[in-house]
Chains A and B, each alone.
Chain A
């Protein structure tokens, strides 16, 4: 009798799950106050960018004075969240060659809605360079997946949270850009932009920016993987030859 009642309860729970809604995720920050984020510019083909976006593309905004070899630093100043919004402010040192950062260039505030569904349909993060944000709430894959982004964007959150952007010729204004450009922005699990690549046709990289820190475990994990593979193959071949 007891078994039958348990079975019925289980079936009811199972049936009930067909009608219940999946709980909404609680989106938040992937970083803490005081965290330092540094990006470096690995490639910046200024001549090509001048042709694509006109000569004023590096006069203002996050690409101001961008050049190959320069770095940009963001320090997380404050983080706040309420029932509807998450808000943060950063101290920003813009693109520099120097190791010593000196005085900060500006303080910027940025916010996101806690519920990504509340963004309007065809939402664009920006209609000018860099077109993608440098950080997003976490879990980032779900957040991007729930936003109803415009045609500019294609979200791929299967493996790494990625924003693919296709900016068509004349999108900004007539003859800017002068040809179609493509952006692949990859984010890490903290919601921070880890790689930004701007391509022109033929997959020619015009700008490549990446987070200037590789997690500590990456190098030992890579060395261990390659070493373990070679050792196992060596031992297997040796054993087979001895048989």
Chain B
């Protein structure tokens, strides 16, 4: 009965969305992205996509798990946690081409769920001075659907949408429910996203309910809830260590592939701060250790983000800003931050736009970044190919990531005033 009610409610909402011309255009454009990826797959890219790696990982997980990180079996390196391969086992049991189509159809369906979650979360956190009707929410949902990063996500057969979905579900839970059981469920769901792809691993510290009151100079921590959240998120991740313990070679190969292998050195168009530094070192023959650069970047960017988060001046929706910090830290510090990874960030930016006051200078940080990530970032990937022999830095994406980070930092530190009064929901 609940399920039927839910379906009726979703259908009603979708009908309301469909009344807006921009939404109809967005859906058609999004379907075009989907079909384009299928056409390109069957014509030129059938053996050059990330899904091939996931598909192979599922097969190897079943038949020869010790060789899960033996890169000779893959077109490109398989780098994720071993349990992520388990997720792809069902796909690896069917024909590859059929599996790709099914997987991308699942991705399409996930986007449908994501926009529903976006709508639900925005309704919860929307600021008091925003329009009461849904027109503007539909506009931003349409902007998300029109996002160019979807093109590469579909073409590569990537798994970013699973991460986004789990992040949004856990965010919705934290914003809606306060009981300890729900704290555990919310963080456990986030933990599952880390198993699939560790993009959200830097969200973990932001689950801590830790606050330093600058006025009273007093540190407050909710030990029980923090423990439950950390336990919940770590639990699925720890399950990987059962595999690492059972197959020690997996652990060695996992570390080598992710942190010490040859891949981090290779020149590419990643917009992460770490990659800009390693590209600089590569170009000018400066000796470097990629792991040191990674750790220093995480220390500086992650440390700053976490300290600011602890000092945050308003408790309302702090989890939203914590999650955004986490994704920004990941995109700025991991070696390979590519256009399609932005699908983990743009929904959070859209929610923030609705959480911030309608007219606030903080939007000058968030809105241009959202539009850049959603429509223009891909352009600079193309430009990188024109400039890389002399200037191998895809720095514009980095600039907008830093701009967004500054916006979130400013939000956390600025004292309460009229133009930073936000939607209120504890979290």
Which residues on A are within 8 Å of B, measured CB to CB?
17-18, 22, 42-43, 141-142, 145, 151, 154, 156, 158-160, 162, 164, 166, 182, 184, 186, 194, 197, 202-205, 208, 214-215, 217-219, 221-222, 225-226, 229, 236, 240
CB-contacts of B368-427 with A (<8 A): 368, 383, 386-391, 396, 399
> Is the Cβ of A225 less than 8 Å from the Cβ of B285?
no
| CA A203 to CA B280, docked complex, whole Å | 13
> Is the Cβ of B266 less than 8 Å from the Cβ of A159?
yes
Q: Say how far B222's CB is from chain A's closest CB, in angstroms.
A: 39
Nearest 6 A/B pairs, CB to CB: A221-B386, A164-B262, A159-B268, A205-B285, A222-B391, A222-B387
| CA A22 to CA B44, docked complex, whole Å | 8
> Is the Cβ of A151 less than 8 Å from the Cβ of B266?
no
> Is the Cβ of B389 less than 8 Å from the Cβ of A221?
no
> Is the Cβ of A202 less than 8 Å from the Cβ of B289?
yes
What are 28 inter-chain pairs, A to B, with CB distance below 8 A? A18-B97, A22-B46, A22-B47, A42-B285, A151-B72, A159-B267, A159-B268, A160-B266, A162-B266, A164-B262, A164-B263, A164-B266, A182-B262, A194-B389, A197-B285, A202-B287, A203-B281, A208-B285, A214-B389, A215-B389, A218-B387, A218-B389, A218-B391, A219-B390, A221-B387, A222-B390, A222-B391, A225-B387
Contact with A along B253-274 (1 / 0, CB 8 A): 0000000001101111100000
| Contact (A17, B266) CB under 8 Å given A222-B391, A229-B396 | no
Question: Could you tell me the dominant secondary structure of chain A's interface residues?
Answer: mixed
| Number of residues from B at the complex interface, CB < 8 A | 36
> Is the Cβ of A218 less than 8 Å from the Cβ of B386?
yes
Q: How many A-B residue pairs have CB under 8 A?
A: 83
B47, B48, B72, B389 — which one has the most chain A CB atoms within 10 A of its CB?
B389
A17, A141, A219 — which one has the most chain B CB atoms within 10 A of its CB?
A17
Least CB separation from A18: chain B residue: B97
Q: Say how far B167's CB is from chain A's closest CB, in angstroms.
A: 25
Interface residue? B75 (CB, 8 A): yes
| CA A226 to CA B75, docked complex, whole Å | 35
CB neighbours (8 Å) of A215 from chain B are: 389
20 further A-B pairs in the complex, CB-CB below 8 A; given A214-B389, A221-B386, A222-B390: A18-B95, A141-B48, A156-B76, A156-B263, A156-B266, A159-B266, A159-B268, A159-B269, A160-B267, A184-B266, A197-B282, A202-B289, A203-B288, A203-B289, A214-B390, A219-B390, A221-B383, A221-B387, A226-B391, A236-B368
